[in-house]
Amino acid sequence: MANNNKLSEVEGFARILMAATAEEPEAGRLALACVVSNRREIARRFVKTQSRPHPHFGDGSLAEACRSVVHDAGPPRTATAAPATAPTVPAYYRALATVCLVLSGDQADPTQGAVDFHRHDELPDWANRRVPSALIGSWLFYPPD
């Protein structure tokens, strides 16, 4: 995969990941970062063949993939979640490191290519007919249909 990420997009991804995974162990942070990467790759392929944005994952940009994951993850469940605008805290550095490992391809995907996920203590209607590929942190992960 060509690595043409703008630094501002990478930093934005790290901030979003930090906020979305504030109460997650490192494995949960990595898994959500992989979902962003997987969604972006699917959207890129879709845009290339269909000449229009993917209906769920957007235009293939990192920003659109992040937005789709934030939407699906919902707000952090505790008041201790770090704000997405605090780039000097250790949690931000951990999130940035995770983002860099995923975007560089240097980290294996523990979700096995998942593009969908939900908290393990919830069961959305769409998940009733699917088999998860992984349970990591607070999340169940699902490969593409």
38: in domain = yes
Q: What are phi and psi of 116, to 5 degrees?
A: -125, 155
Mean pLDDT by 10 residues, the chain (145 residues): 72 89 89 95 95 93 88 66 58 93 95 95 93 94 93
The pTM for the full model equals: 0.86
Q: What is the pLDDT of residue 39?
A: 95
125: in domain = no
73: in domain = yes
122: in domain = no
Q: How far apart are CA 9 and CA 69, in angstroms?
A: 15
141: in domain = no
Q: What is the pLDDT of residue 73?
A: 83
72: in domain = yes
Helix (H, G, I), strand (E, B) or coil at 111: coil
Q: What are phi and psi of 93, to 5 degrees?
A: -65, -40
Q: What is the pLDDT of residue 88?
A: 62
128: in domain = no
Neighbouring C-beta atoms of residue 13, cutoff 10 Å:
27
120: in domain = no
Q: Tokens standing for 138?
A: 């607070």
Q: What is the pLDDT of residue 77?
A: 58
Residue type, 115: V
Domain boundaries, position 79 = 7-115
What's the domain count of the chain?
1
